[in-house]
Amino acid sequence: MMSPTGEEAGLLPENVVLDVAGDDGDWTLAITDVMVRMQAAVTAVWRETPMARELSKRRQVEISMLLTHDAQMRELNREYRGKNKPTNVLSFPGMDTDTLSVEGYDGPGLPSVALGDVVISLETAMAEAEDAGKALVDHVSHLTVHGLLHLLGYDHEDDEEAATMEALEVRILAHLHIDDPYAT
């Protein structure tokens, strides 16, 4: 796998703030340079989504990510989705995407918007990567992209939405030198 270079080497888009937290030390052991990989994923999402680029031109965009374990992910999945099992990634939008504009704002500087939170389970990601024969860093990058797209209003509730979101994920992951995760 190639390492991100240039803009993808960890520089965030202008006016984007990323906060990554982990609830145990396994992330730093399992993924080298996790912050760089998360930043690269954010940058690639911004490159391919006009709404994200436009938003950060007019607002400071704040994104939070939590890297956790299956026990906590199970609790979150049960509480928010009614599913009593862990999952690989959950997204919690900070606001409805219809309200992301700043028309009429006349305050000083850029207004700030909490785009939302993305939670990734290390245990589930590790198992999925191993089962698929993928590098863990690539799979976590994919989950990061997937979660960010949900924060930006993309979904996969029906076949048409899923096709649109998956195609966008594939384009974004190509910027990170990651193969199409949906290829058979």
pLDDT in tens, 62-79: 999 999 999 999 999 999
Q: What is the DSSP string of 100-123?
A: ---TT--SSS--EEEEEEEEEEHH
Contact indicator for 13, 53 with CB cutoff of 8 Å? yes
81 token code pair: 């989705």
pLDDT at 11: 80
Distance CA 30, CA 101 (A): 38
H helix runs in the chain, sequence order: 26-30, 34-48, 50-58, 70-81, 122-132, 136-151, 159-175
Give residue-wise pLDDT tens across range 151-169: 999 999 999 999 999 999 9
Q: What is the DSSP letter of 2?
A: P
Decide if pLDDT at 2 tops 60: no
Domain 6-97+108-175 class in CATH: alpha beta
pLDDT at 6: 39
In this prediction the pTM is: 0.87
**φ and ψ at 24, to 5 degrees?**
-155, 170
Parse the chain into domains and list their residue ranges.
6-97+108-175
